[in-house]
A and B are shown apart, each in its own frame.
Chain A
């Protein structure tokens, strides 16, 4: 397969995974799904890289959502079943121990938002815009958005974004917790690398356990979570 709709590079401990269909504002298609799956696995196994940046190529945006021309025909039930079982891309994001940063600019639509919410930190340029148009096209979010959005921006904002399909600017996105940082468009790349380098300065064992603990806090009872945190800290200190 010609691997070019998602690029992978690595430098100074930082991996960069680039959505690379700039002529289509990086619209997410089947090839991209399969390649992103491979690239995430590559990052997981890449001993040279401790942090990954996920970004989109071209000036127009990070990702304009699912490519309607490809997802227009519904996959057969057999195909849908095998994708669910073998290409669990969204589940793979959650299995990665190393930190991931989404670097967002321009259009961040549908699966673009969903991919960014499967990363640990979201940094965006001040000119980015965010929307979830799925239900007006007759389908619904399919890259974990109905699950991750509520956990980041709450039930209220999630229902509002999906049901009214409204578009948010970066400032509003920051205010409701959809993104974590805003920088000027011209500084986005430098600031993203700075953020990644900053994480690299810490002991990566602690970084990875801290990441895991925060994710587990949503899945465990408080007492269980406190016990896990203490045990992991003691284990790493010894």
Chain B
């Protein structure tokens, strides 16, 4: 089950709860993404009370589960995963499709699918891009479990918080929501993520194109005016 809340800073929080619902997790997740995130949403934070971050859904057509990952990848705003106890297998793959991962100091991570299958919701593609080919192969082929410190050192997660991952995640989300221009943020994310699929030369021109489009935004003029006048900017997302 997924509880959702939206606050005044336009941060949407998805809390994944333990449940014995008959609706498959992935169907519910996708539905909530489409119905709750709108043009005003600035940051999505995903947290979970499940030990493995997300629940594997036993449904007949496993292709449907990949839909969740594709849905997350298509979301243009920053997504933060707050991992309290750990992220394993499908749960880790879900977290990998987020932009910033925050975890509790006791969290552990692993991909355990190789004993009777393989990861098929993005890990073989996203993990090497995050931690490099050698470490990705090690995790996927040996199912090795890594702790929070190791995960941070290898670039799998961005922040460790001693007490609660969600507090840190909300703090980062608030800072993004209050201080950054929404269109520029979405364009920067698009340029970073899509640029990795291009040659460097193509990527540089792609970035240049996005910059030229960004010139026309009101927020760009506001950001610079606020900087010159030494006051906080007020962005409208236009």
Contacts and interface: CB of A to CB of B under 8 A. Distances in A.
A158 interface: yes
Contacts of B181: 135-139
Interface string B195-237: 1101111011111111110111101111111011000010100
A42 to B, nearest CB: 22
Contact of A150 (B172, B192, B212, B214): B192
Query: Among B101, B214, B217, B233, which residue has the most Cβ atoms of chain A within 10 A?
Result: B214
Interface stretch (A27-35, A161-169, A191-199): A161-169
A2 interface: no
B207 A135 contact: no
B142 interface: no
Given A74-B221, A94-B201, A219-B199, A138 B191 contact: no
Contacts of A68: 224, 227-228
A139 B221 CA distance: 9
A163 B156 contact: no
A218 B200 contact: yes
Interface stretch (A14-22, A53-61, A141-149, A226-234): A141-149
Interface string B163-191: 00000000010011001110011011101
Contacts of B216: 74
A214 B172 CA distance: 36
Nearest to A147: B203
Contacts of B227: 68, 137
Query: Among B78, B156, B198, which residue has the most Cβ atoms of chain A within 10 A?
Result: B78
A136 B180 contact: yes
Query: Among A72, A84, A135, which residue has the most Cβ atoms of chain B within 10 A?
Result: A135
Nearest to B188: A140
Contacts of B101: 156
Contact of B220 (A91, A139, A146): A139
Nearest to A137: B223
B155 A74 contact: no
A162 B210 CA distance: 16
Contacts of B223: 136-139
Main secondary structure of the interface of B (DSSP, over half): helix
Given A68-B228, A147-B204, A156-B156, A138 B233 contact: yes
A137 B208 CA distance: 17
Query: Among A69, A74, A146, A162, which residue has the most Cβ atoms of chain B within 10 A?
Result: A146
Contact of A140 (B191, B204, B221, B225): B191
Contact of A155 (B129, B184, B214): B129
Contacts of B187: 140
Given A74-B220, A136-B180, A147-B195, A69 B188 contact: no
Interface string A66-82: 00110110110100110
B65 interface: no
B129 A154 contact: yes
Given A139-B220, A160-B158, A149 B172 contact: no
A127 interface: no
B131 interface: yes
Nearest to B158: A160
Contacts of B208: 84, 90, 142
B130 interface: yes
B130 A156 contact: yes
21 contacts: A68-B228, A77-B212, A91-B205, A137-B227, A138-B184, A138-B224, A140-B187, A141-B188, A142-B208, A145-B207, A146-B195, A148-B200, A150-B192, A155-B130, A155-B192, A155-B196, A156-B101, A156-B157, A156-B158, A163-B185, A163-B189
Interface of A: 68-69, 71-72, 74-75, 77, 80-81, 84, 90-91, 94, 134-142, 144-151, 154-160, 162-165, 176, 215, 218-219
In the A-B complex, the 7 residue pairs with the closest CB atoms: A138-B223, A147-B203, A74-B215, A146-B191, A138-B181, A137-B223, A138-B220
